[in-house]
Amino acid sequence: MIAPTFSYLNEVYFGGSILEQAATVAARHGLYRPLLVTDRTLSDLGIADRAGLGSLPEFADVETNPTESAARSALTLYRAEKCDGLIAIGGGSPIDLAKVVALLVGHDGPLGDYAIHAGGPASIDTAVPSLVAVPTTAGSGSEVGRAALMTLEDGRKVGFLSPKLLPVAAVCDPAVTMTMPALLTAACGMDAISHCVEAIVSSRENPVAGAIARDGLRRGVRHIVQATESAQDLAAKSEMMICALEGGLAFQKGLGAVHSLSHPLGGLKPELHHGTLNGLFLPVVLAFNEGFAKEGFEVIRSETGESDVSAFFARLLEQLGLPSKLSELGVVDSDLVKAAPLAKVDHCTPTNPRPFTEADALALYRSCL
Ligand SMILES: [Zn+2]
């Protein structure tokens, strides 16, 4: 199958107070009765009313690692309410769930058949309803990405990829992230930074995505501490939201072992936060990849101002108060034995600059225990 070398862009509406324009943006795309997808916390905070979307049918049962069963429940509501598209408000989880609901609207059969590893992208061929994404965290970049991650009924966390899954518009209001708890700001920020780092060293050639990733990394490493420590610093929050957006634009260059290691653990233990895991794996994966992707490493050295980039990120984690060991998160060795074969076949593995085996994955996991 032929795919474009690079492909941009959806509409991005960026700025303080832009949240209030979400309904107008949706209407521009013909969404007059979209299904609102969000999580319980945001729903309780009245986010839909703040966005002028309070009258819409709402699905709020979205967990940290969204599941196929939640997507199917949302689909039932979508059909019962005769919706004409979707608006997702939240972090990567509600946005990814909304993408999968959009996929299910016109695609029958087992959801797993549409996953990347099953050759699914080619069969995502019929119309998919439009989605407007309103990120409330600065992390996943899902608002500008064509991919969605979901845990299937059998427990595997798999990826879906199609230009049809790209939201038609992203409404990015950094003021929304000012209410995020500090540790969540830090964890989401490390997800965004890890997208930039992994895209920079990815084995796939894409100079446009590489340049975007470099800018994202620069903003991320300069502002993540301030954005974490000072919830009211709108300038720092804006920088992190751009970092997240650029990470999302960049990861069409491909990600690597950080994500290969974090995806299976997130599937096996749904309570683990994706960004927290990525932050934790970043130093060991950089040390593992050292000597490969030499140009990419030069870029990371230049943007961090450090020759030992692995040590730089280990220090950053400590400064942010994020965990550096899996045991702190309740992970035990038997979890790692289950996760290692899944990491080897993860869709991010082929673009890690250094090829790795199942035994390498297990060794990397154990070095973090
Ligand atoms: Zn990620």
List the chain pLDDT tens, one digit each, 369 residues: 666 666 777 899 999 889 999 999 999 999 999 999 999 999 999 999 989 999 999 999 998 889 999 999 999 999 999 999 999 999 999 999 999 999 999 999 899 999 998 988 889 988 899 999 999 999 999 999 999 999 999 888 899 999 999 999 999 999 999 989 999 999 999 999 999 999 999 999 999 999 999 999 999 999 999 999 999 999 999 999 999 999 999 988 999 999 999 999 998 998 999 999 999 999 999 999 999 999 999 999 999 999 999 999 999 999 999 999 999 999 999 999 999 999 999 999 999 999 999 999 999 999 999
* Ligand 1 center from residue 260 Cα (angstroms): 10
* Ligand 1 center from residue 269 Cα (angstroms): 16
* Ligand 1 center from residue 242 Cα (angstroms): 15
Structure tokens at 139: 């992390």
Quote the DSSP letter at residue 175: G
* Ligand 1 center from residue 229 Cα (angstroms): 22
Residues of the chain with CATH 3.40.50.1970: 11-175
Distance linking the first and last C-alpha atoms of the chain? 40
Quote the DSSP letter at residue 5: S
| Helix or strand holding residue 150 (H, E) | strand 147-151
The pLDDT value recorded for residue 63 is 87
* Ligand 1 center from residue 145 Cα (angstroms): 11
* Ligand 1 center from residue 274 Cα (angstroms): 6
Distance CA 309, CA 282 (A): 10
**Three-state secondary-structure class, residue 14:** strand
CATH topology of domain 11-175: Rossmann fold (3.40.50)
Instruction: Report helix, strand and coil shares of the chain as percent, to nearest 5.
Output: 60, 10, 35
* Ligand 1 center from residue 313 Cα (angstroms): 16
* Ligand 1 center from residue 134 Cα (angstroms): 17
SS3 track for 107-141: CCCCHHHHCHHHCHHHHCCCCCCCEEEEECCCCCC
* Ligand 1 center from residue 55 Cα (angstroms): 32
* Ligand 1 center from residue 275 Cα (angstroms): 6
Best CA proximity match to 282, nearest among 337, 228, 352, 340: 352
* Ligand 1 center from residue 198 Cα (angstroms): 10
* Ligand 1 center from residue 193 Cα (angstroms): 9
> Exposed, middle or buried by CB within 10 Å (0-12, 13-18, 19+), for 55?
exposed
* Ligand 1 center from residue 81 Cα (angstroms): 32
Looking at the DSSP bridge assignments, the partners of residue 12 are 170
Asked if residue 219 lies in contact with residue 311, where contact means CB atoms within 8 angstroms, the answer is no
The pLDDT value recorded for residue 153 is 92
* Ligand 1 center from residue 191 Cα (angstroms): 5
* Ligand 1 center from residue 244 Cα (angstroms): 10
* Ligand 1 center from residue 136 Cα (angstroms): 15
* Ligand 1 center from residue 277 Cα (angstroms): 9
Asked if residue 155 lies in contact with residue 268, where contact means CB atoms within 8 angstroms, the answer is yes
Residues of the chain with CATH 1.20.1090.10: 180-367
* Ligand 1 center from residue 3 Cα (angstroms): 22
What letters, b where the CB count within 10 A reaches 16 and e where it falls short, cover 112-145? bebbbeeebbeebeeebbbbbbbbbbbbbbbbbb
pTM for the predicted model, two decimal places: 0.93
DSSP 291-350: TSSHHHHHHHHHHHT-S-HHHHHHHHHHHHT----GGGGT--HHHHHHHHHHHHTSTTGG
* Ligand 1 center from residue 92 Cα (angstroms): 9
* Ligand 1 center from residue 259 Cα (angstroms): 6
- The superfamily in CATH containing domain 180-367 is Dehydroquinate synthase-like - alpha domain (1.20.1090.10)
Distance CA 140, CA 325 (A): 22
* Ligand 1 center from residue 192 Cα (angstroms): 7
* Ligand 1 center from residue 44 Cα (angstroms): 26
